Structure 1
Amino acid sequence: MEKRIINPWQWQDARNYVQAVEVKNVTSTLYCAGQASVLADGTSSNADMKTQLLQAIENLERVISQAGYACQDIVRLNVYTTSSKELFAHFDIFQDWITKHGIQQASTFFEVKTLFETLSVELEATAVK
Structure 2
Amino acid sequence: MPVTAEWLLQPSGRQRWLDGAFLLSALLIFSWLLPPLWWGVVAVFLLLLMLWGWRKPAVRRLGCDSRGWWLEYHGCKLSVRWRHGSVRRADVLILEWSFWPWQRLMIRPDSLGSAEDYRRLTAVLYNDLR
| TM over 0.5, shorter chain | no
Larger helix proportion of the pair? 2
Structure with more relative contact order (C-alpha pairs < 8 Å, separation 6 or more)? 1
What band does the TM-score fall into relative to the shorter chain?
under 0.3
Q: What is the TM-score with the length of structure 2 in the denominator? A: 0.26
